Each structure stands twice: as C-alpha cells, then as structure tokens.
Amino acid sequence: MSVALVTGPTAGIGRSFAHQLAEQGYDLVLVARDKERLEAEAAELRTAYGVAVEVLPADLVDRAELATVAARLSDPARPVDLLVNNAGFGLKKRFLDNTVDEEQAMLDVLVTAVMRLSHAALGAMSERGSGGIINVSSVAAFLPRGSYSAAKAYVNSFSEWASREYAPRGVTVTCLCPGFTKTEFHERMQVGRGSAPDFMWLDADELVRTALKDHARGKVFSIPSPQYKVISTAARLIAGGVLQRFQGLGRK
C-alpha cells in the first residue's frame, strides 16, 4: 500500500486530500494540532475506505513537534510515498497591525515547515528513487500583497526548483495554487463570501481532484479554474514587464 502524509487534514483542502487519497487506496498519516479532531477524522476515513490511518498530533510552529513529523517522513522502515504540505495560516490585519510573533508564527507554518518537511521527504524519496510532494500555495504568491503573499511566493519558487532538481531521482513535486476556496480558512480569518464575486470561489473537492491529476501528469504548477489561470498569467507578465523596464533603466 502507498502511504500519504497530509498536514492540516481536518478541514477544507487538506480534508479533501485525505479523503480522495484514501479513496485511491492510500494509507494515511494525518498531522494537525487538534488530536480530538484528528482522531474523529481518522475514524471516519477508516470506516469509509478501509485504509490504515495514523494520527500524528503536532503544532508545526513548535520546532520539536515539527521535528517529530520530519522524522516520520525520513523513517526508512515506514516509507511515505506522498507528502501533502497543506497546513494553513492566515492573518487578516496588515503587517504592522500584527505582532512580530504572529508574523513569525505564520512564516513558521507556511515557509519553515514546508522547507523542513520537504527536506526530510526529499531525502528519503530520492534515496528510494520514487515519491511525490504536493505543496499547497496560493494564487496570492503571484501578487505583492503582504507577508502572506511573500511566504507563498517562497513556496512557489522552492517547489519549481525542487521539481526540476529531483525529477531525475524519481520524485515529482507539484505546487497547487488555488484562489478563494470554500473552506474554514477564510471563516477563521473572518473573511466573508462577499469579499469576492461568487464565480471566484472554488470548490475544495474539485480543485484537489485537479491537483492530483496534475501531479500524476508530473506538472510543476496546478492552478485550478480558468479565472485563476488568467490572473496568475497576467500577474507574471506584468511583473516581468516591470522588471524588464528596471533592467533597461539600469543599462542607461
């Protein structure tokens, strides 16, 4: 049986990953802070799909608990075939309205955890010559909109590099870049559905289905829905044009 480790699997995109992977026959390792919710989710998955589910409670902000998850990924006796770095963290207020500790906690989850867990997984997977990683980023990565966008830009850049670096060793790395999605994430940030037009809100199950297909095809980026493909492409073209103008000024 293949094994997938999913961070943030008790709601939204992470929960959809857990269920769709279980449906495909993956055994699971579920990682989140809330042990009670993890146990409830694990019981539901075992009953619905007949797969083995391991519960690994961990706060990814805590370096020692993060190390426990990394050790699980690098354990040669219990190989993990697919890592889904999905754990989310968002701050509604502007940068200077948050404390520096709040900003640091966000970076710990969105950047440090992704880097450390990917490091552990890539080491084990490249040694075996097979495996995969899906890093859940955001379309926000293409837009300069505060520290959240900056953190997600790291995830995009890191994933793109890792995809090309480790593909020859049998490891597929895909970066999923959703936009507004109907999950608890925006609710926890007190961001209502009225903050974006209805057509901009995505269904978590559908975007995960697309991401898994893109990963199976070896795609570096999975950007679900036509509207977000347009936004990401436009953002990259505009950014490229601005950069070219600055480079041109530097040559004069």
Task: Take residue 171 and report the two structure tokens written for it.
Answer: 């490891």
Helices 204-216 and 12-23 pack at an angle, to 10 degrees, of 50
Name the one residue in this structure whose structure tokens are 């998850």.
69
User: Which domains, from first to last, does the chain contain?
Assistant: 3-225 (3.40.50.720)
Task: Take residue 230 and report the two structure tokens written for it.
Answer: 């347009």
Find the range with the poorest average confidence among 105-109, 213-217, 221-225: 221-225
* pLDDT for residue 252: 29
Q: Beta strand 131-136 with 82-85: parallel, antiparallel or unpaired? A: parallel
- Would the pLDDT of 142 be above 80? yes
* pLDDT for residue 14: 96
Better pLDDT: 186 or 13: 13
Which residues make Cβ contacts (< 8 Å) with residue 212, sequence separation at least 6?
A: 17, 20, 21, 24, 134
* pLDDT for residue 232: 63
Q: What is the pLDDT of residues 27-75, one digit of tens each?
A: 999 999 999 999 999 999 999 999 999 999 999 999 999 999 999 999 9
In terms of pTM, does the model score above 0.75?
A: yes
* pLDDT mean across residues, the chain: 87
Altogether, the residues listed in the chain come to a count of 252
Q: What is the pLDDT of residues 82-122, one digit of tens each?
A: 999 999 988 889 999 999 999 999 999 999 999 999 999 99
Integer Rg of the chain from CA:
18
- Would the pLDDT of 143 be above 70? yes
Of the pLDDT bands very low, low, confident and very high (cuts 50, 70, 90), residue 189 is low
Residues with a known catalytic role: 148
Identify the top-confidence range among 35-44, 135-144, 170-179, 235-244.
35-44
Please tell me the distance from the alpha carbon of residue 203 to that of residue 11, in angstroms, as a whole number: 13
* pLDDT for residue 202: 67
Mean pLDDT across 158-184: 88
* pLDDT for residue 219: 96
